[in-house]
Structure 1
Amino acid sequence: MLIHPECGSDRGRFGLRGTRIDVLSQVLSAVRFEAAFYFKVNASAPWVTTNPSMDEIGSIVMPHVQHVIPFHVMIDGDAWAWSAAGDTEPQTLRSGEIMILPQGAEHFIASDQKPNMIPKVDVEPYRDAAKRVTPYNHVQIGGDGTPATFVCGYFGCDARPFNPLLSALPGMMIVRPTDSTWALMQNLIVSALDEDERPEAGSQTVLAKLSELMFVQTLRHYIETLSEDSVGWISGLRDERVGAVLRLIHTRPAEPWTLDKLAKEAGMSRSALADRFAAYTGEPPSRYLTRWRMQLASSLLSNSSVSIAEAAETVGYSSEAAFKRAFKKHVGETPGRARRASPPAIGQA
């Protein structure tokens, strides 16, 4: 999917803009979103890179997360990019642009639209990179033709038990900064490069936070450019009534919400809300609420200082036994087992 920021420039006038950002922030926090940079590539034409699917290297580049999303930032020069999934034609990737592959598919970046040869997948460079502690791993490829420079990195997040964002995103996204609103994105890229050229204490943390900000900016522009008749979870954020209900669920998950209460808040009948909500999210409000509570609980349980009873109360269960039953039903394992299998919460020793 190609994203032009100037398209759909009136998006902020529809729905509740604050709702979209608030809910997005809640989701990114609850699914424990984080990021890491790995490679800075200096290439000279002709060149081509085969980037393995995250099924192959996700556990290498970010071993403690459930789902890995690769991204590329074109610093200088032009390239062609396409996914092995075959869902898009090769697209141009120009200086300053960002490509993200939310589903983690194998993909290619090359100096030519139709390179003579596609190299086979090689996971060893990723194993080597994972062992190093420097912010960037430098790579030089290609011949002696036109130069290009790009950065490759990875986002990580929870995919289970419930991440509504992942399934709502396309297989490949390219963000094209074409107006003044992208000044922040440009500044983020420059700041990231500064960390490479003048590494100081905490450089890896700075780079991770910068890449997280780039991802959020990309999502914002993706939301703004969706067509009026689009459906799905992200489009639901833009719908005035469905967006309002999503905000209530995400910002006040412990409330004893019923379909009646949510419908009253949205100014709709029960049946109208149920139909409209399901049309956007694919499920009724009650099931969505329960699954979101289980995601929050899973995140809480990754912190060893939070008891199962405390997690249950935080997400709206007065009965620990009822919480355990709901958790087992929707997550597939008991809260205790999920806690033992969960990686430590970010920032937790």
Structure 2
Amino acid sequence: MDPLSEVLSLLKLRSYVSGGFDANGDWAVQFGAHDGIKFHAVLRGECWVMVEGVADPVKVSEGECFLLARGKPFRLASDLAVEPVDIRTLLPQVQDGRIVTYNGGGEFLSIGGYFTLANGQADLLLSMLPPLVHVREEPSRATLRWCIERMRQELSDVQPGDFIVAQQLATLVLVEALRLHVSNERRESVGWLFALSDKRMRAAIDAMHASPGRRWTLQTMAEQAAMSRTTFALRFKETVGLSPMEYLTRWRMMLATDRLTHSRDSVSAIGLALGYESEKSFSTAFKRVMNCSPRQYSRQRKAGTSNFDVGV
């Protein structure tokens, strides 16, 4: 499994399609704060997107989509001068539980939804993304447009299992949007997500993900990237934003938190599987990253009351 797939899997990504918005004439709609990642795909027409705290509005056209990764309130509008209405006041007008119609509809149509992520680990992905990600598809890659069109069909034509299909398509939209975002970003963008576009950095990250329990050294990591140790360490820090050892520790802690929550393995067994020689060394590394011991984390998570975050 590749690193992006592994991270999304560990984050327990779940997609939900909440329905569509069909408008006509001049309009503006205000949406409140939200959890996880929201997305909107424009199927017809165009709109302006304004996100709280983001200085410049963005125009999104037919066939494009945008992601909202920081949970901030936002506004969609045909004209920025139009006074917005709260989306909640329009929900009673939803047709068939799927489409919100405004001013009769017919001129603008979008499909919206959101993605939820596991608590305590979501920052590994969200920290890589700005509050607003505008995704414009490249002509040579039609996957995004196809997914969006299929979502429209599933929401428009009532048939068994249509919402499940739409949710799976939404996951494809997110992955394709992340791919396009990474490929279109400037080369100086920093973070593990952007480092995956660098063949040498990806080779090292792939190896760490494939064998997290290996007794890694800076030299063995550099060999995966076919680089000298010094050059590799500098390049990794520049592209990922963490040193190689910091990134390895973070990945190990992601795996550890997942196993502490969802398995019956002992703390010592988890630590040993992740490359730590003793339970004490594992617990020390875990507490440095998570601000609590593995046993405390396990009790809190299984009780459903944990507020701990992964952070290096």
Query: How would you bin the TM-score normalised by the shorter chain?
Result: 0.7 to 0.9
**Percent of residue pairs bearing the same amino acid type:** 29
Contact 2:27/2:84 (<8 A) preserved: no
Counting matched residue pairs gives 302
2:78 equivalent to 1:117: no
Partner of 1:74 in structure 2? 42
Distance 1:287 1:137 in 2: 45
- Residue ranges of structure 2 left out of the alignment (5+ in a row): 305-312
Contact 2:194/2:239 (<8 A) preserved: yes
Partner of 1:214 in structure 2? 173
- Residue ranges of structure 1 left out of the alignment (5+ in a row): 1-20, 59-67, 129-133
Distance 1:240 1:25 in 2: 17
Give 1:189 shift. Answer: 2.0
Change in CA separation of 1:166 and 1:180 when aligned onto 2, cut-off 3 Å:
same
- Scaled by the length of structure 2, the TM-score of the pair is 0.84
Letter in 2 for 1:147: E
Distance 1:288 1:175 in 2: 28
2:275 equivalent to 1:316: yes
| 1:1-349 → structure 2 map (5 Å cutoff) | 22-54=2-34, 58=35, 68-87=36-55, 89-112=56-79, 114-119=80-85, 137-141=98-102, 143=103, 147-158=107-118, 160-161=120-121, 163-182=123-142, 184-342=143-301
Of 241-250 and 336-345, more deviation after overlay is shown by: 336-345
1:158-198 Cα shifts (integer Å, max 9, x gaps): 3634744322222212222351411x222222332333234
Give 1:154 shift. Answer: 0.5
Distance 2:39 2:53 in 1: 16
Give 1:307 shift. Answer: 4.5
Letter in 1 for 2:110: F
Distance 1:135 1:288 in 2: 47
Contact 1:75/1:95 (<8 A) preserved: yes
Contact 1:50/1:120 (<8 A) preserved: yes
- Scaled by the length of structure 1, the TM-score of the pair is 0.76
1:11-54 Cα shifts (integer Å, max 9, x gaps): xxxxxxxxxx9222222122222211113212222211112222
Distance 2:41 2:300 in 1: 34
Distance 2:86 2:101 in 1: 17
SS at match of 2:110: strand
